[in-house]
């Protein structure tokens, strides 16, 4: 069997690009980092001398030796970068959200459809954590009957007021920072969404933003949703928990305190909801000081490499990212009209 050559990649973006994606790449022998693009050359992290440093991202895209582009810049810039990358025949691994709007992404997809040989993928991390994958297996087990489910995600907002992460129109806010992750992993675990009815508050300052309501899947499973973003003085605790009731007494619980980026998700079962003593650990993440996002990012990068080598589109493609945009837009309509909307 012919061994595939290492995929030469260029990375655009410093924060997540260096702290998570680059560190994930160091754990893989499938890729070789050829270049990095930063906004400026101030406080550049310590990188090997053979990695080229740029402040103009177009120079990476134009480099004919670079096979794939990793994009982790502010979403407001993604459409321009992605379009240019497609025109220059680059495979693309992009941090979420892929673009700041469905309109922008559709324009990128229009270009991609002309070049079906290109691989494209969005880095949805939560869905590929071990605890989430184990829950998916439990859900898909023939003997598992789901009575109901409840999702609670309370986030302590650390972003500065002027950060793009607080602005929905710039690809941030509660919908693009958190809800897109939720929608992706819920459809991966429970199947396609049929309808939703939610109330959304998504102001510029994430002091008291929320998504409250429910989602009904085509399988008729109904999940109640409560996502809150603000300060800990108001919400008291930080938590990400998905509870799936499988009988009158049994419950599968996926949970993390999410206080720190090193906090791991656990999966456990309560055989008696009223008794914490009935708790049975199914998966417990190892104690670590490592950013929990590195591991699923590495798993996604491996799938990205496979997509390139086999010339097959991955599930986390731009097409799926566009569906996430579509569901977010439908959710906004539901909130504005105060009614349930159908998701096709």
pLDDT in tens, 43-92: 888 899 999 999 999 999 999 999 999 999 999 999 999 999 999 999 99
- Separation between Cα atoms, residue 130 and residue 108, nearest integer Å: 32
SS3 assignment, position 248: coil
For residue range 269-288, what is the model confidence (pLDDT) as tens digits?
A: 988 666 666 788 999 877 77
- Give the DSSP letter of residue 145: -
* Separation between Cα atoms, residue 251 and residue 262, nearest integer Å: 26
Per-residue model confidence as pLDDT tens digits over 23-41: 999 999 999 999 999 988 8
Looking only at the bridges linking them, the beta strands covering 251-256 and 52-54 are unpaired
The SS3 call for residue 146 is coil
Lowest mean pLDDT among 169-178, 200-209, 217-226: 200-209
Asked if residue 1 has pLDDT above 60, the reply is no
10 Å CB burial of residue 250 (0-12, 13-18, 19+) is middle
Cis, peptide link before residue 97, omega less than 30° from 0? yes
Quote the percentage of the chain above a pLDDT of 70.
Answer: 93
Quote the DSSP letter at residue 148.
Answer: E
Q: Is the pLDDT of residue 153 over 70?
A: yes
Under 8 Å between Cβ of 300 and 129: no
Q: Is residue 104 over pLDDT 70?
A: yes
Average pLDDT of every residue of the chain: 91
Is the confidence at residue 158, as pLDDT, over 60? yes
In sequence order, the β-bridge partners of residue 104 are none
């Amino acid at each position: 069997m012919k061994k595939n050559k290492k995929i030469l990649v260029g990375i655009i973006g410093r924060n997540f690009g260096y702290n998570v994606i680059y560190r994930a790449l160091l754990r893989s022998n499938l890729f070789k980092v050829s270049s990095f693009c930063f906004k400026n050359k101030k406080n550049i992290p310590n990188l090997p001398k053979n990695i080229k440093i740029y402040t103009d991202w177009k120079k990476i895209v134009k480099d004919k030796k670079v096979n794939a582009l990793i994009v982790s810049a502010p979403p407001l810039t993604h459409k321009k970068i992605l379009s240019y990358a497609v025109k220059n025949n680059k495979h693309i691994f992009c941090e979420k959200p892929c673009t700041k709007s469905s309109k922008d992404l559709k324009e990128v997809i229009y270009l991609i459809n002309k070049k079906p040989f290109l691989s494209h993928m969005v880095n949805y991390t939560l869905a590929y954590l071990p605890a989430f994958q184990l829950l998916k297996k439990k859900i898909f087990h023939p003997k598992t009957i789901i009575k109901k489910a409840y999702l609670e995600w309370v986030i302590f907002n650390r972003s500065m007021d002027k950060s793009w992460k607080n602005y929905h129109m710039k690809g941030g806010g509660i919908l693009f920072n958190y809800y897109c992750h939720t929608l992706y992993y819920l459809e991966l675990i429970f199947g396609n969404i049929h309808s939703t009815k939610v109330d959304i508050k998504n102001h510029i300052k994430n002091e008291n933003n929320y998504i409250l309501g429910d989602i009904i899947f085509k399988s008729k499973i109904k999940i109640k949703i409560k996502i809150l973003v603000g300060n800990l003085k108001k919400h008291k605790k930080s938590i990400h928990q998905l509870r799936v009731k499988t009988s009158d007494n049994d419950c599968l619980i996926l949970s993390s305190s999410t206080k720190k980026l090193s906090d791991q998700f656990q999966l456990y079962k309560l055989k008696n909801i009223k008794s914490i003593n009935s708790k049975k650990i199914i998966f417990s993440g190892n104690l670590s000081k490592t950013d929990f996002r590195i591991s699923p990012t590495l798993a996604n990068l491996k799938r990205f490499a496979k997509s390139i080598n086999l010339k097959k589109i991955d599930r986390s493609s731009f097409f799926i990212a566009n569906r996430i945009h579509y569901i977010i837009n439908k959710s906004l309509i539901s909130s504005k009209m105060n009614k349930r909307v159908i998701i096709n």
